[in-house]
Amino acid sequence: MSDTVTESGGRPVPQAMKAMVFERVGDPLRLMDLEMPRCGPGQVLVRVAACGVCRTDLHIVDGELREPELPLVLGHEIVGAIVELGPEVDNLAIGQRIGIPWLGWTCGDCEYCAGGRENLCSRARFTGYQIAGGYAEYTLADARYCFPIPESFSDFEAAPLLCAGLIGFRSLRMTQGARRLGLYGFGAAAHIVAQVAQHQGSEIYAFTRPGDREGQAFATRLGAVWAGDSDALPPEELDAAILFAPVGALLPLSLRAVRKAGIVVCAGIHMSEIPAFSYDLLWGERVVRSVANLTRKDGEEFLELAPHVPVTSQIEVLPLTQANEALRRLRFGEIEGAAVLDTQSEQGARATP
Ligand SMILES: [Zn+2]
Ligand SMILES: [Zn+2]
């Protein structure tokens, strides 16, 4: 790379960067020095300020999602500032703060892309999965898939909006304006969706792991009218439910909780085996559907709406070097709200593995 390249503040872009790298299922992420990536046509180089830790990252390190490009830098809830523009980028500027989401590239001409459903593109490539992500000091992104970030959010607050918020928002729309909405699993996505849904006039019924009184108290503080164990029945029949916890056994439980013609949306990218259940639970025109990925339109609409709700992200910030600890705490339900990595902290930049 050329040492004449400078960031917007005049600071040179270094030759190397720190990243937490996923090499093999079963191994912890490893802190490594990687060569600084350089922009190709249509790309931007971003100095990462914050990167959210998503449940999907756990599915990747556990080998439940089978197509990661290894070795891999995880992370698809990225907020940072552009430090370099590749050729042919005309929609973004040096210094601009942007968000980089899970959807990193689509083919643009399959039937799904052509029909406004690029989230279903069969050739789509995803950030922090097939494209290096944000558990790093810098990352590259295709300029067409980045979003400007509303000013009212700090870098750390904005990070969880980029997947938990966005895919939660897409899931919420699939519930078609449910007045009584159940949320199964009250973590990063649910705590944002609960705010948006209440803004739109819904009542929230929050379901947590049985006995998770702290999670239930968190939901109540965010306005839920009822919070209880996932195997309990709510006091009222629900119009719809969204399953954020990747637990197949929740599907029949949630069908039991929704009224006739109620909708159950499975929002996760992976779910454990769904147990057999009686057709009675689906009878009465109940609907079960999944939500896959996001479209750029979802992102634009959600980021437009979020400051008006206004969404408040509950976050726990950890340095980049503690990515393994962030993943561990997420796995055991020890994060209230969303975990976010500080990718520029002193500790993140200097600590050894
Ligand atoms: Zn396509
Ligand atoms: Zn995600």
In terms of domains, do 124 and 26 share one? yes
**Residues shown for the chain:** 353
What is the predicted pLDDT for the residue at 7? 59
Q: Which ligand number lies closest to the CA of residue 292?
A: 2
Report yes or no on 258 lying in a domain: yes
Q: How far is the CA of 198 from the centre of ligand 2 (A)?
A: 22
In terms of domains, do 171 and 233 share one? yes
In terms of domains, do 307 and 280 share one? no
Largest Cα–Cα distance in the chain? 68
In terms of domains, do 204 and 139 share one? no
Q: How far is the CA of 64 from the centre of ligand 2 (A)?
A: 14
Q: How far is the CA of 126 from the centre of ligand 1 (A)?
A: 13
The helix/strand/coil state of 277 is coil
**CB burial class (10 A; 0-12, 13-18, 19+) of residue 3?**
exposed
Closest to 320 (Cα-Cα) out of 129, 49, 16, 87: 49
Three-class SS of 146-201: CEECCCCCCHHHHHHHHCHHHHHHHHHHCCCCCCEEEEECCCHHHHHHHHHHHHCC
Residue 127 carries which DSSP code?
B
- Residues bordering ligand 1, an ion, CB closer than 5 Å: 106-107, 110, 113, 121
- Give me 146's structure tokens: 């980045």
In terms of domains, do 174 and 274 share one? yes
277, 255 contact by CB (below 8 A) = yes
The one-letter amino acid code at 76 reads H
Residue at which a domain ends, from 273, 290, 307? 290
Report yes or no on 5 lying in a domain: no
In terms of domains, do 194 and 85 share one? no
In the block, residue with structure tokens 């197509």: 67
In terms of domains, do 155 and 218 share one? no
With bands split at pLDDT 50, 70 and 90, how would you rate the model's confidence at 163? very high
With bands split at pLDDT 50, 70 and 90, how would you rate the model's confidence at 349? very low
pLDDT at residue 352 tops 50: no
Angle made by CA atoms 182, 159, 113, in degrees to the nearest 5: 75
In terms of domains, do 137 and 217 share one? no
In terms of domains, do 202 and 182 share one? yes
- Give me 94's structure tokens: 């040096």
In terms of domains, do 157 and 22 share one? yes
Tens digits of residue pLDDT in 17-69: 999 999 999 999 999 999 999 999 999 999 999 999 999 999 999 999 999 99
Q: What CATH number has the domain bearing residue 310? A: 3.90.180.10
pLDDT at residue 348 tops 70: no
Residue at which a domain ends, from 290, 319, 335? 290
Report yes or no on 234 lying in a domain: yes
In terms of domains, do 149 and 185 share one? no
Distance between CA atoms of 29 and 346, rounded to whole angstroms? 19
200, 177 contact by CB (below 8 A) = yes
Query: Is it true that the peptide bond before 310 is cis, omega within 30 degrees of 0?
Result: yes
Q: What CATH number has the domain bearing residue 256? A: 3.40.50.720
Residue at which a domain ends, from 269, 290, 311? 290
In terms of domains, do 42 and 123 share one? yes
Q: How far is the CA of 42 from the centre of ligand 2 (A)?
A: 24
Question: pTM of the entire structure?
Answer: 0.94
Section 73-84 average pLDDT? 98
Q: Which ligand number lies closest to the CA of residue 102?
A: 2
Report yes or no on 4 lying in a domain: no
Q: How far is the CA of 120 from the centre of ligand 1 (A)?
A: 7
Provide the number of structural domains found in the chain: 2
Report yes or no on 246 lying in a domain: yes
Report yes or no on 340 lying in a domain: yes
Which domain covers residue 235, as residue numbers?
Answer: 166-290
Is pLDDT larger for residue 4 or for residue 265?
265
Q: How far is the CA of 57 from the centre of ligand 2 (A)?
A: 7
Q: How far is the CA of 212 from the centre of ligand 1 (A)?
A: 41
Q: Which ligand number lies closest to the CA of residue 55?
A: 2
The helix/strand/coil state of 297 is helix
Q: How far is the CA of 13 from the centre of ligand 2 (A)?
A: 28
What is the predicted pLDDT for the residue at 89? 97
Report yes or no on 206 lying in a domain: yes
Report yes or no on 231 lying in a domain: yes
